[in-house]
Structure 1
């Protein structure tokens, strides 16, 4: 690197080229001397410009937020310079990124269930040397979303299953979490009884049988971006979808007649608390600075779907991280075993 920088000076010092170490030292000495001693006067003298290499600045990774957040302008913070990077929300993605040689995020928004797993697996830094590994970061909402060009009144989760009255495809998240809750809500289970029902084998089977009834009409999505594509392509009449993606798809629609006709309802919204976590592949110094930044500016994800037109006050089912931390692995395996081979 030093040799490449000083080669022009060496060429100016001598008309002869040499690759020896003596020539190198001579050229270095000439270049240093020329800083302090003026060049001799000459009719052909010219000012030699010295180029000083500026230190290269490598920007730090951004802050990981769920897909759809940026276009939806859903992250509220007093720090408007916060660099945001969207991620797909998969636990496998979280594990891989936090264990990579180079960090993908300075901090990342995760669900409470993912936080417990990441903390136990030492994928993320503890906060203040305590067992806690995250600080509150807002909420993520899964809403019943529908194509208002084909359905003029807001549907319910019961309507979601009524393909006789409302024919068409249905989009659902391919996973037990939130999908089993939706199935039980559609089957008439009260929100306050969802997790006591899912805590029994009979309750799980009830939810799975309900999904079996809808199976021929289901279009599965795995990431928020998948749900967005279903809406952009009008691939379903109704779907469960992240509220951020509903807003994001609408924001991306061109002016004039909207290409996206999907709107999110406010009844029976499944709400998951989110937490900021700092990956362990972020250095201790950077992790400390990031934690202070998060505490100072408290960025929160808030994107409550707005009813069109305004209707009843919103109702929520808060997804139980305690339940999914205890039963999630077994239920996800059971869900996949039942639906993967016959996914349409």
Structure 2
């Protein structure tokens, strides 16, 4: 056999087909969210571009991303991150700066969805959730969540300072407008922990978005904080859960590209595709979070639109989480929360 031909054949067996489909690793928070992303983003992108999406889950831990960025051994390409982690990670060089000319027009997105290292995927809320069939009266806000006499039983809260401290202050009568002004003081922090002391023995701490709803079904808790999209998905599966939007906190999740990804251009193509109005419409109809592309809302079914965090009625007594506050104070407050929780 000709030596050159043999060498080419050998190279082919080692490297694989030269026209093999590209792969992109996309990491999200899993559960119903990932299922909706597979339906609205991953499968259509694969069909359009012949790119294989390798989907993975995580709980938002930045330590893994930091190790990849610091060592240059980057196995993740696109990651879903919350606002404080995006801002902090961008400033620390953990994410690639984005080329917005490849992604879309900034003016097509809500302002909070546009940043140097990230593109908003959706708006989500953490809401007070309960089963009205198991309570004598519907709770009207976080003050009722704290009322152990009227509503005896366990409560579910996300393990961590974020959301937990805000809800404690709202339960103690702090207004939405003054929430972060109060929490930004030592007296406000002590006030939040003192309020949490009132129900500490009755709290079950959840780590993943699926847990609080599982606990509600099992009767382990009578009320819980939960992500609105998870609750609505459970309702559509026949669960009789209800959401109290009064005092809810909303934020965005964003796409970001891990520093050192060898597939930055492909990753930007994916983000651009997932940010188009039709894909966003398909996503929020699969899981009811608000779209970040303002052109998507007119495409969304009206019945779905009424259940979104962005519906005017749901926004009335809601509050955006303050990402800058949590960047400035998050590390200290999480340390204090862990010390308090472990007592």
Whether TM-score is above 0.5 comes out as yes
Go from structure 1 to structure 2 and tell me whether the alpha carbon gap of 1:148 and 1:99 turns closer, same or farther (over 3 Å shift). farther
Go from structure 1 to structure 2 and tell me whether the alpha carbon gap of 1:209 and 1:279 turns closer, same or farther (over 3 Å shift). same
1:141-187: per-residue Cα shift (whole Å, max 9, x none)? 11111122212643121110001011110000111111111111111
**What is residue 198 of structure 2 aligned with on the other side?**
213
Conservation of the 8 A alpha-carbon contact between 1:272 and 1:319: yes
1:258-295: per-residue Cα shift (whole Å, max 9, x none)? 4x443333222210122210112421xx2122213322
**What is residue 90 of structure 2 aligned with on the other side?**
119
Question: Which of 300, 323, 327 is equivalent to 1:325?
Answer: 327
Q: For residue 73 of structure 1, report the CA deviation from its aligned partner.
A: 3.4
Q: Distance in 1 between matches of 2:158 and 2:232?
A: 18
Q: Within 5 Å, give how 1:231-310 maps onto structure 2.
A: 231-250=216-235, 253=237, 258=238, 260-283=239-262, 286-298=263-275, 300=280, 302=284, 303-304=288-289
Q: For residue 120 of structure 1, report the CA deviation from its aligned partner.
A: 2.7
Q: Distance in 1 between matches of 2:213 and 2:177?
A: 30
**What is residue 141 of structure 1 aligned with on the other side?**
125
1:189-235: per-residue Cα shift (whole Å, max 9, x none)? 10000000011000010011000101011001122233343234332
**Higher normalized helix content (fraction of residues):** 2
Go from structure 1 to structure 2 and tell me whether the alpha carbon gap of 1:219 and 1:270 turns closer, same or farther (over 3 Å shift). same
Conservation of the 8 A alpha-carbon contact between 1:147 and 1:238: yes
User: What TM-score does the superposition give when structure 2 sets the normalisation length?
Assistant: 0.71
Rg larger for: 1
RMSD between aligned residues:
3.4
Q: Distance in 2 between matches of 1:99 and 1:231?
A: 41
**What is residue 166 of structure 2 aligned with on the other side?**
181
Conservation of the 8 A alpha-carbon contact between 1:88 and 1:224: no
Q: Distance in 2 between matches of 1:219 and 1:158?
A: 18
Q: Distance in 1 between matches of 2:34 and 2:99?
A: 33
Alignment: residue pair count? 282
Q: Distance in 2 between matches of 1:165 and 1:312?
A: 30
Go from structure 1 to structure 2 and tell me whether the alpha carbon gap of 1:111 and 1:152 turns closer, same or farther (over 3 Å shift). same
